[in-house]
Amino acid sequence: MFVIIGFLVSMACIFGVYIAHGGNIGVILHALPFEIITILGAAMGAFVMNNQMKVVKASFAGLAGCFKGSKYTKARYMELLALQFDILQKARKEGLMAIEQDVENPDQSPLFKKYPVISADHHVTEFITDYLRMMVSGNLNAHEIESLMDAEIETHHQEAHAPVAAIARLAGGLPAFGIVAAVLGVVNTMGSVGQPPAVLGGMIGSALVGTFLGILMAYGIVEPLGGLMEQKTEEASKEFTCIKTTLLASMQGYAPSTAIEFGRKVLFSDVRPSFSELEGHVKGKK
Q: Mapping DSSP to helix (H, G, I), strand (E, B) and coil, where does residue 178 land? A: helix
Q: What percent of the chain has pLDDT over 70?
A: 97
Q: Tell me the average pLDDT across 195-216.
A: 78
Q: Tell me the average pLDDT across 198-217.
A: 80
The pLDDT value recorded for residue 238 is 92
Q: What percent of the chain has pLDDT over 90?
A: 56
The pLDDT value recorded for residue 188 is 75
Q: How many CB atoms lie within 10 A of CB 57?
A: 12
51: in domain: yes
Q: Tell me the average pLDDT across 156-165.
A: 93
5: in domain: no
164: in domain: yes
286: pLDDT strictly greater than 70 = no
CB within 8 Å of 68: residues ≥ 6 apart:
none
6: in domain: no
Could you tell me the residue range of the domain that residue 235 belongs to? Answer: 27-286
The runs of H, that is alpha helices, within the chain are: 2-20, 25-50, 53-65, 74-94, 100-104, 110-113, 116-119, 122-137, 142-190, 197-217, 223-251, 256-265, 275-284
268: in domain: yes
Contact call for residues 66 and 3 (beta carbons, < 8 A): yes
From CA 163, how far away is CA 181, in angstroms rounded?
A: 26
3: in domain: no
From CA 81, how far away is CA 277, in angstroms rounded?
A: 12
Cut 0.75: pTM above it: yes
The pLDDT value recorded for residue 140 is 77
The pLDDT value recorded for residue 87 is 93
196: pLDDT strictly greater than 90 = no
Chain segment 231-282, per-residue pLDDT in tens: 999 888 899 999 999 999 999 989 999 999 999 999 999 999 998 888 888 8
73: in domain: yes
Count of domains for the chain:
1
Task: List the Cα angle 58/83/141 in 5-degree steps.
Answer: 85
CB within 8 Å of 50: residues ≥ 6 apart:
166, 169
The pLDDT value recorded for residue 200 is 67
2: in domain: no
Residue 272: DSSP 8-state: P
Contact call for residues 184 and 38 (beta carbons, < 8 A): yes
Q: Tell me the average pLDDT across 156-182.
A: 93
Look over the chain and give the mean of its residue pLDDT values, rounded to a whole number: 89
Of residues 156 and 207, the one with the higher pLDDT is 156
The residue type at 105: N
Q: What is the dihedral of CA 269, 274, 277, 282, to 10 degrees?
A: 90
104, 101, 100, 102: which is closest to 136 by C-alpha?
100
Chain segment 43-88, per-residue pLDDT in tens: 999 999 999 999 999 999 999 999 888 889 999 999 999 999 999 9
Task: List the Cα angle 104/110/114 in 5-degree steps.
Answer: 120
220: pLDDT strictly greater than 80 = yes
CB within 8 Å of 45: residues ≥ 6 apart:
none
At 26, the pLDDT band (50, 70, 90 cuts) reads confident
The pLDDT value recorded for residue 271 is 92
Of residues 12 and 281, the one with the higher pLDDT is 12
164: pLDDT strictly greater than 90 = yes
The pLDDT value recorded for residue 22 is 81
